[in-house]
C-alpha cells in the first residue's frame, strides 16, 4: 500500500487539502490519492472552498521516475491530466498557498487551482528539461495561458527557477506574504471569497475558463447566459435584498 500523502482538514466552510507526498511515493500513487480527495471535496456538504498547502517544507514530493516506455509515459500523462481536470472542475474556489521550491508536479497542481499565493522565499519552475522531458499533466498549457507564451517558453526551456518577486511580476502568483502569516492570510482571503454566492462563484469560474481561449463574441454569449442563470437563483434575490436592506447576505447556493 502506498503511504498516505495528503489529508483533508475541515475549518468551517473551508477545507484544507494538505499535500506532503513522500520519498517512496510514485507520481501515479500521489495523483491517484489526490483524485480521490478531489472527488470527495466536490460533493462534501458544507465545503465552499479549498485551501491547498504543503506539510512543512514538503509539497507534492514524489520518488524519481524509473525509466518509462513511451506507452507507459502516455498513460501516466493521461492519468495525471484527468486528476488535475478533476481539481480544476471542482466547482468551488481553490487557493494554493505555497512556500519553498514549487516545481514539477507541485507547480502543475498549483496551476490547476483558482489562483496561487506564496511566501517571499518561494521559488517556482519546471526543471524537467534538464532530464530531457517536459511537464506531463497540463503544465505547459496552463502555464502559457497564465503568464503568456514567451514567459512560459523561457521557464520551460531554461529549467531555471524564478523567485517569488519575479513570479508575482509575471502574474504566476497573485499575492505574497511573510512565511509566518502565509497560511493564515490565505485562509482569511479564501474565507472572504466563500461568503459570496456559491452558484455565482461556480458559474463565474466556468465562464472565465471556458471563454479564455475562444473568440470574444462567443465568450460574451457564455457570460450572457451565466448572468441570466444568476437571476433564476435564490442567491441573487438574497443578494439584492440584503443590499437594499443594508445587511450581510446569507447565500445558500440555491
C-alpha cell at 221: 454569449
C-alpha cell at 235: 442567491
Q: Judge whether 160 counts as a catalytic residue.
A: no
C-beta separation of 38 from 75 below 8 A? no
Catalytic residue from among 101, 128, 206, 223: 128
C-alpha cell at 145: 495561458
Per-residue HEC secondary structure of 4-68 comes to CCEEEEEECCEEEEEECECCCCCHHHHHHHHHHHHHHHHHCCCCCEEEEECECCECCECCCCCCC
Catalytic residue from among 3, 45, 108, 238: 108
What is the separation of C-alpha 63 from the centre of its chain, rounded to a whole number of angstroms? 22
Return the SS3 of 231: coil
Task: Name residue 19's beta-bridge partners.
Answer: 6
Residue located via cell numbers 492570510: 185
Q: Which residues of 169-200 are buried (b: 16+ CB within 10 A; e: fewer)?
A: ebebbeebbeeeebbebbbebbbebbebbbbb
Q: Judge whether 101 counts as a catalytic residue.
A: no
- Rounded CA-CA distance 93/146 in Å is 17
Which positions are catalytic? 108, 128
Amino acid at each position: 500500500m502506498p503511504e498516505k500523502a495528503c489529508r483533508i482538514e475541515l475549518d468551517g466552510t473551508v477545507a484544507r487539502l494538505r499535500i506532503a507526498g513522500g520519498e517512496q511515493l510514485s507520481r501515479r500513487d500521489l495523483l491517484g490519492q489526490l483524485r480521490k480527495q478531489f472527488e470527495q471535496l466536490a460533493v462534501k456538504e458544507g465545503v465552499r472552498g479549498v485551501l491547498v498547502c504543503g506539510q512543512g517544507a514538503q509539497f507534492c514530493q514524489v520518488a524519481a521516475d524509473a525509466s518509462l516506455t513511451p506507452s507507459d509515459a502516455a498513460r501516466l500523462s493521461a492519468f495525471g491530466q484527468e486528476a488535475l481536470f478533476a481539481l480544476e472542475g471542482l466547482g468551488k474556489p481553490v487557493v494554493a498557498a505555497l512556500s519553498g521550491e514549487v516545481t514539477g508536479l507541485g507547480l502543475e497542481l498549483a496551476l490547476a487551482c483558482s489562483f496561487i499565493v506564496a511566501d517571499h522565499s518561494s521559488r517556482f519552475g519546471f526543471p524537467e528539461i534538464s532530464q530531457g522531458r517536459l511537464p506531463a499533466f497540463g503544465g505547459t498549457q496552463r502555464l502559457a495561458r497564465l503568464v503568456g507564451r514567451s514567459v512560459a517558453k523561457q521557464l520551460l526551456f531554461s529549467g531555471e527557477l524564478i523567485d517569488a518577486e519575479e513570479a508575482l511580476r509575471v502574474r504566476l502568483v497573485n499575492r505574497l506574504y511573510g512565511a509566518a502569516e502565509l497560511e493564515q492570510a490565505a485562509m482569511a482571503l479564501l474565507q472572504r471569497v466563500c461568503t459570496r454566492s456559491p452558484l455565482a462563484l461556480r458559474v463565474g469560474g466556468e465562464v472565465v475558463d471556458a471563454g479564455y481561449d475562444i473568440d470574444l463574441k462567443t465568450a460574451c454569449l457564455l457570460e450572457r447566459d451565466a448572468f441570466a442563470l444568476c437571476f433564476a437563483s435564490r442567491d441573487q434575490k438574497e443578494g439584492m435584498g440584503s443590499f437594499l436592506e443594508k445587511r450581510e447576505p446569507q447565500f445558500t447556493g440555491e
